[in-house]
Amino acid sequence: MSSKPVKVGIVGLGRWATVLTRAAQKSDRLKIVAGFSRSAEKRNAFAIEMGVPAAPDMATLLADPEIKGVILTVPNEQHLPMAEMVAKAGKHVYTEKPIANTLVDGLKIAALEQKYGVSVTVGHSARLMAGIRMIRDKIDAGELGRVAFIEANFSNERALELTPQTWRWYKDRAPGGPLSQLAIHQFDVLHYLGGEISEVTSMASKLSPVGAEVDDQSMTLLKFTDGKIGYVGSCWTSPGIFAVRVFGSKGLMHYEIDFGTWDTPDKLHTTSTLYIQRGKDGYGKREELNLPPSDMFCAELEMFAESCETGKVRELSAHNGNVAVAVVYAALRSIERKGQAVSIADVIEENKAKI
């Protein structure tokens, strides 16, 4: 990496743009130098609050030769057209998760890399949490033995707050409710920790009293190509939680964060829990592990900066982003088929055929 920060732009100036801009300001590896929104009011407010100059239009932002990449924090259905505009201008692409609102769009975004010679980074930041990385290190070191089972949960109270004015109310914009909005984070984490996923089965229910179109409870079982199995649960009517537990022949590990600090990941280590339970030891003999300070948002942006400089795709790749979306699609199909197992490879191939 160069000693100078990589200059990037950001498009879509809502709440998440503020979160990522604050994360970027902690890094000396990239600098957000321009922001754009179709709303002049948002452009002005963002420039005042974050100190980032506003571009009057996309053309001006993309014409700046010093800007090497663009961060997209626009609504999911805008990811493909915006990513194509950025890639066509020769800029590297960062898009928030999910990679796109549909798998077809996600596969088209992945194809931009070869078409325009740019890299695509997808913001699946959960795999970058210190606790998740430490679990992977223990797996790789053999301390857990053969991993056979992984379970995870990501839940919050979002369904109790939905109204017809919010996009998450609608099935076509938030398919499966928490399945596509929360569980997708854990699908990527389990892909990272467990390897390739071969098939899924899923069920869902609607229990929130607000009457939204979307389901608000989901349970998905995953089978990995090496035989291990996993479970991801997501409830949209409960206090927030993000937890992962990995079971191996020599030990198990449990990681849980305080969801209230999700937007401030540099504070996660102060309230999170990570322990390892070895051999035949009971819970009372668990070993609590110290979590170092980390910042998953800063880390993902620094990965993007490296891709902007080298042109090489890091682990937050379009492929991994599309696997997570494919698991969502397979789960939705399984729900429609009353829990029938659905192949991930089949879902991906069917969507490739639509392009």
- How does pLDDT run across 260-272, given as a tens digit for each residue? 888 888 999 999 9
Cis amide bond preceding 98, omega within 30? yes
Q: In this predicted model, what pLDDT tens digit does every residue of 65-88 receive, in sequence order? A: 999 999 999 988 999 999 999 999
* Common-topology check for domains 6-125+298-317 and 127-294: no
Query: Phi, psi (5° rounding) for residue 294?
Result: -155, 170
Which of the listed CATH numbers 3.90.1170.40, 3.30.360.10, 3.30.70.580, 3.40.50.300 matches domain 127-294? 3.30.360.10
C-alpha span between 297 and 21 (Å, rounded): 9
5, 67 in Cβ contact below 8 A? no
> Structural domain boundaries of the chain?
6-125+298-317, 127-294
For residue 101, the SS3 value is coil
Q: How far apart are CA 177 and CA 170, in angstroms?
A: 8
pLDDT attached to residue 172: 87
- 217-258 confidence digits (pLDDT tens): 999 999 999 999 999 999 999 999 999 999 999 999 999 999
How far apart CA 66 and CA 46 sit, in angstroms, is: 21
pLDDT, one tens digit per residue, over 317-351 is 999 999 999 999 999 999 999 999 999 999 999 99
pLDDT in tens, 172-184: 888 899 999 999 9
Run of H or E including 233: strand 229-235
Q: Which CATH architecture has domain 6-125+298-317?
A: 3-Layer(aba) Sandwich (3.40)
Tell me the CB-side half-sphere exposure of residue 8, using CA atoms within 13 A.
Answer: 34
User: Which is it for the CA torsion 98, 104, 107, 113, positive or negative?
Assistant: negative
